[in-house]
Amino acid sequence: MNDEEDQLTRINKVSTFMLARFRATLCRRTSSASAIVVSAPELSRTVVSECGSVVDDLVSAFLHPVAMSWDVQKYSTACEREGIRNGMTAVETILEGRFPCYDSETRGITTPRTVVDKYGRILTWVLPNVLPKRIQAAIQSCTENISQELRKKIMPSERATWRCDQKWFSDVAAECPQGVLDISPAWFMTGWKGLIDGLRTLPLLNKDMGKKWMEDFADAGALMSGIMRVMHPDQYRMAWEMMVRLKSVRPLAALHTWPTLFNAVTIVANRQCPLHREPEGSYPWYDILVSIGSYKTAPMYLRSLGFQVLNGPGTIVGFSGKTVCHGVADAAGHRICHAFYMRESIQDFLGVRPANWMTQEVYRPWVGEKWRKNMFGMARDPFNM
C-alpha cells in the first residue's frame, strides 16, 4: 500500500472493484449477456488478480445454495429465548427438534457453497482454499511477529474460560505461534460500556510491534473488507459508517491505520474450538473466519445446519456466529485462524443503523432469467446436481 494512501481509501478501492467484478461475473455466468469488463487501474495487477480469483469463488458459492427448511428469524428468536433458560447442550437439543438440520447425516462441504433459509436469507458462505498464497504468507508473518502476545493469554484450566484454557491448545513445535489475542482499535473496557471515555485501543496497537502488525496486515484487511462488501453489502455499509463516526467522536490514533472495516479481529493459533456461539455480535451479521498454516485439514462443524467444512489452509467461512452453533476440531499440523467480526455495543453506541439479514434477492438484478427460477424461493439439493 502507498504510504500516503489512507487505509479507508484503499479499502474502498478494493471493495468497489470486487463488488463490480462480482456483479459482472454473476451476469456473465447466468445469462447470454456480453461480458462486462471491470477495470481497476488504481490497483496493482497482483491485487486485481487476487481479488478476481476470490470473486470467482464467491460467485460459485452464490450460484450453488443449499436451502434449509426453516425461517432463520424464527430460529434466532428461539435461540435467544432458549439460551436464557437452558445450557448449550439443552439449547441445541431443543432447537434441533424444531429446526431440523439439512440431513440426518453430517454433510461435508468441499466446494464453494452458500446455505440459505427457506426465504433465501444467506446464513453461510463457504470458500474452500481460496485465500491467495501471498496473503496467507503475509498473515503468517504478521502473526509470528506478535506471537509473544498470543502466548500471554494461555491460562490453566482452573483460571480460564475455554477460549484461553490451555487444554484446548495443540502440541506444536516451539517456533510455531500458539495462543489467542483479541485486537481492536476501539472497543469498550470492562464496566465502561456506553461511555465515550471507555472506548479504548488495545495497548499493543500503540506500540511499534502493533503498528507494524497493522501496516503489514493492510492488504489482507482490505481483502477481508472487500469480501464483506460482496457477502453482505448492508453490513459493509454499517461498518463504513461506524468507522467514520468513530474517527469523529473518538479520534484514536489506531483508527487511521486499522487495516479492516471489521472493528475487531481475534487471532487463534493452534487451538481447538468446542461448539459455541458468539455472544457479542448480532444475529444478521457475519463473522468471517480465515484459516492458514501447514496443516492438512481442521474440520469446522456447523451443528445448527448439519454441515462440516473440511477447512484446509486458505479456507474462508462467512456466517452468523451468533446464529450458527459451530466448532473446530484439532488440526493435523500448525494452524492459525483469524476471526473478523463486529461488536453490537459499538454500533449501538454510535447510533448507526444496524445491518439486516443478507438475502439472495440483493443480487437478483444480476442473475439471468433461467437461473432465477431455480434460485429464488426454491430449495435445491446441490449434492445431487
SS3 167: helix
The pLDDT assigned to 106 comes to 61
Look up residue 142 and give its three cell numbers: 504478521
Lowest mean pLDDT among 33-37, 322-326, 367-371: 33-37
pLDDT(250) > 70:
yes
Dmax of the chain from CA atoms? 63
pLDDT(4) > 50:
no
Amino acid at 340: F
Among 120, 91, 121, 123, smallest CA distance to 109 is for 123
Residue-wise pLDDT tens digits, 58-93 = 999 999 999 999 999 999 999 888 875 556 677 888
Sheet containing strand 307-309, strands side by side:
107-109, 307-309, 300-302, 326-328, 273-276
The pLDDT assigned to 254 comes to 92
pLDDT(108) > 60:
yes
CB 281 within 8 A of CB 341: yes
pLDDT(270) > 70:
yes
pTM of structure: 0.92
The pLDDT assigned to 383 comes to 39
SS3 195: coil
The pLDDT assigned to 381 comes to 43
Give the span between the Cα atoms of 54 and 232, in whole angstroms.
Answer: 15
Give the span between the Cα atoms of 318 and 291, in whole angstroms.
Answer: 12
CB 179 within 8 A of CB 152: yes
Q: How far is CA 186 from the centre of its chain?
A: 19
Task: Work out the pLDDT band at 105, boundaries 50, 70, 90.
Answer: low
CA distance between the termini of the chain: 42
Among 156, 177, 153, 145, smallest CA distance to 270 is for 177
Q: How far is CA 115 from the centre of its chain?
A: 15
* H helices present in the chain, as ranges: 7-30, 45-63, 72-85, 88-98, 133-145, 147-151, 208-216, 218-231, 233-249, 344-350, 369-375
- The residues pairing with 276 across neighbouring beta strands, listed in sequence order, are 326
The pLDDT assigned to 44 comes to 95
pLDDT(8) > 60:
yes
Bigger pLDDT: 11 or 272?
Answer: 11
The pLDDT assigned to 213 comes to 95
Give the span between the Cα atoms of 115 and 124, in whole angstroms.
Answer: 5
Task: Work out the pLDDT band at 54, boundaries 50, 70, 90.
Answer: very high
Residue-wise pLDDT tens digits, 293-335 = 988 888 899 999 999 998 899 999 999 999 999 999 888 788 9
Give the pLDDT mean for 284-288: 97
Give the span between the Cα atoms of 121 and 75, in whole angstroms.
Answer: 12
> Which whole-number Å values give the CA distances from 111 to 114, 223, 254, 383, in the listed order?
10, 20, 37, 10
Give the span between the Cα atoms of 38 and 84, in whole angstroms.
Answer: 49
Give the pLDDT mean for 29-46: 86
What domains appear along the chain, each with residue ranges and CATH number? 7-384 (3.60.130.30)
